[in-house]
Amino acid sequence: MPSAPPLTPPLRAEVDLRALRYNARALRRRAEGATLVAVVKADAYGHGALPVVRALLEEGVERFAVAGVAEGIALREGGVEAPLLVMMAPLPEMLPAYARYNLAATVATREGAEAVASAARRGGPLTVHVKVDTGLHRLGLAPADVPGVLRLLQGAPGVAVEGLWTHFATADEPDLDFAYEQLALFDALVHAVDPPPLLHLANSGGLLQIPEAVEGRALVRVGGALYGLPASRILEMEAPEVRPVMRLVTRVLQVKTVERGETVSYGRTWTASGPTRIATLAVGYGDGYPRSLSNRGHVAVRGRLYPIAGRVCMDLTMLDLGPPDGPGGAVRVGDEAVLFGSGGPSALDVAEWADTISYALTCGLTARVPRVYVGAENGGGAPA
Ligand SMILES: *Cc1c(COP(=O)(O)O)cnc(C)c1O
């Protein structure tokens, strides 16, 4: 076969590793004495776990956390040797893999602690972080059960209790009353533990909004802020220095004029009120671009935002460029269209239009979207 010319797919997620490293430096300053644990679950929120971890290692980030054991194994097989915490609680049959790959396990129940003790006896040393449920009611031990479980684990041969932690329910929100209740529950517990292992509570929201969750704690577990993805408007305001890492861009495949009364896309949910230029973009829900943006989202072309016309399809999305004699009349086939990121709406804007959060947007991008890494060399400037 003759060799094909290099192909640039119209839709791509550009991942700016300079911005990532810049954010790591800025957040480390915020964390003061606490060590940053970079949360790289869900393929680093869709940014690509291995390239993200490698860039952060260059930046001096020492610890990482993933959600599931398979994510931890993939990083180990990619050559990552740094401490790795698996935040989901394991099922007992998964524990030998934790020992084999040197992954720190979360203990969230008494049965989980017993399984760890028995797996360590039979299959080699295990490191654990004991998870306390202080109010999220997702994973974790009731505070009253923590001292007993710690005793069990500390007396178990081959088990190292490295951490004690909890997770906030409302650290991303403006009202922090409940977060302070969780903090008080955790602190009451910590006073009963001697000597305390590495303590950690804060996610991005905790780091940015709850100084008491950071000062004097060993670790902070930061995901969203590292990627420049604010989970809410309040966090966007609290971290103005953080830069978006991902930019989702595509290209215009076709431009046409539809007349008054004509409709666009499936179900005919959009009707032209007069002669209107329509641009067809190479992006759709098959790429993870939310279908809920139908008739609600906006996309930037040539520095202007245009509304989505009609339903987002699996592979294609149409824009209402306005009347042919307006600024949208200048849009041409091949023009770049910024779906989110630099030069377009923010991921948070798009998330709000789609009635979701910015994390879900980047996590939801499918394997069809190539991740293109830029800024892989050192640099990026000092944080402000
Ligand atoms: C995802 C996650 C984090 C990181 O949260 P961000 O808001 O992205 O910083 C921290 N801790 C736990 C338990 C998580 O599941």
- pLDDT tens digits for 124-162? 899 999 999 999 999 999 999 999 999 999 999 999 999
Decide if pLDDT at 270 tops 90: yes
Joined together, the tokens standing for residue 321 give 């460029």
Question: Both 194 and 286 in a single domain?
Answer: no
Q: Please check whether residues 139 and 206 belong to one and the same domain.
A: yes
- Give the whole-angstrom CA distance, residue 223 versus residue 27: 11
Task: Check whether residue 79 and residue 172 sit in a common domain.
Answer: yes
How far does the centroid of ligand 1 lie from the alpha carbon of residue 39, in Å?
7
233 within domain boundaries: no
Ligand 1 atom 13 nearest Cα:
167
Please check whether residue 75 lies inside any domain of the structure: yes
Q: Which atom of ligand 1 is nearest to the CA of 204?
A: 9
* pLDDT tens digits, one per residue of 79-132: 999 999 999 999 999 999 999 999 999 999 999 999 999 999 998 899 999 999
Distance from the alpha carbon of residue 208 to the mean position of ligand 1, in angstroms? 13
Indicate whether residue 106 lines ligand 1 (CB < 6 A): no
Residue 6 pLDDT exceeds 80: no
pLDDT band per the 50, 70, 90 thresholds, residue 383: very low
Per-residue b or e along 287-326, where b marks 16 or more CB atoms closer than 10 Å to that residue's CB: bbbbeebbbebbbbbbeeebbbbbbbbebbbbbbbbeeee
For residue 83, is it within any domain?
yes
Whether residue 371 is contained in a domain is answered as no
Q: Cα(271) to centroid of ligand 1, in Å?
A: 42
Nearest to 142 by CA among 110, 99, 104: 110
- Domain end (from 197, 228, 259): 228
Residues 323 and 181 in one domain: no
Say whether both 173 and 252 belong to one domain: no
What CATH number has the domain bearing residue 289? 2.40.37.10
Decide: 223 in ligand 1 pocket, CB within 6 A: yes
- End-of-domain residue from the set 228, 255, 272: 228
Q: Is residue 237 part of a domain?
A: no
Residue 12 counted as domain residue = no
* Ligand 1 binding pocket includes 204 (Cβ within 6 Å): yes
How many domains does one find in the chain?
Answer: 2
Residue 3 lies in a domain: no
> Are residue 24 and residue 156 in the same domain, yes or no?
yes
CB 222 less than 6 A from any atom of ligand 1: yes
Which range (50-54, 189-193, 222-226, 285-289) has the least confidence?
Answer: 189-193
Task: Report residue 377's pLDDT band, with 50, 70 and 90 as the boundaries.
Answer: low
Tens of pLDDT, residue by residue over 182-193, are 999 999 999 878
Ligand 1 in contact with 87 (CB < 6 A)? yes
- Ligand 1 atom nearest to 207, measured from its CA: 9
Structural domain including 262 reads 246-353
Is 231 a pocket residue for ligand 1 (Cβ < 6 Å)? yes
Residue 292 Cα, ligand 1 centroid: separation in angstroms?
A: 25
Q: Could you give the residue numbers annotated as active site?
A: 41, 266
* pTM for this model (two decimals): 0.95
**In this structure, are 193 and 274 located in the same domain?**
no
Q: Tell me how far apart the alpha carbons of residues 17 and 175 are, in angstroms, rounded to a whole number.
A: 33
CB of 293 closer than 8 Å to CB of 354: yes
Tell me the average pLDDT across 36-62: 98
Protein residue whose Cα sits closest to atom 10 of ligand 1: 203
Tell me, using a 6 A CB cutoff, whether residue 232 lines ligand 1. no
Report pLDDT digits (tens) over 298-312.
999 999 999 999 999
Q: Is residue 3's pLDDT more than 90?
A: no
Helix (H, G, I), strand (E, B) or coil at 249: strand
Q: Say yes or no: 170 and 138 in one domain.
A: yes
pLDDT value at position 1? 62
Would you say residue 140 lies in a domain? Answer: yes
Among the candidates 228, 263, 282, a domain finishes at 228
Is residue 170 lining ligand 1, measured as CB closer than 6 Å? no
pLDDT at 78 over 60: yes
Token pair in block for residue 135? 């109010």
Q: How confident is the model at residue 384 (pLDDT cuts 50, 70, 90)?
A: very low
Distances (CA, A) of 61 to 27, 87, 141, 199, 344: 11, 18, 29, 18, 30
| Closest C-alpha residue for ligand 1 atom 3 | 203
In this prediction, residue 196 carries a pLDDT of: 81
144 Cα–ligand 1 center, Å? 24
Residue 150 phi/psi, 5° resolution?
A: -60, -40
Whether the upstream peptide bond of residue 195 has omega within 30° of 0, thus cis, is yes
Closest atom of ligand 1 relative to the 227 alpha carbon:
8
**Confidence grade of residue 231 (pLDDT, cut at 50, 70, 90):** very high
Same domain, 271 and 221: no
Q: Are residues 291 and 213 in the same domain?
A: no
Instruction: For residue 224, give the ligand 1 atom closest to its CA.
Output: 8
Q: Which atom of ligand 1 is nearest to the CA of 67?
A: 15
Ligand 1 neighbour 224 (Cβ under 6 A)? yes
Shared domain check, 271 and 218: no
Give the bridge partners for 337, in sequence order.
Answer: 250, 301
CATH number of the domain within which 80 lies? 3.20.20.10
Same domain, residue pair 122 and 35: yes
Centroid of ligand 1 to alpha carbon of 221 (angstroms)? 6
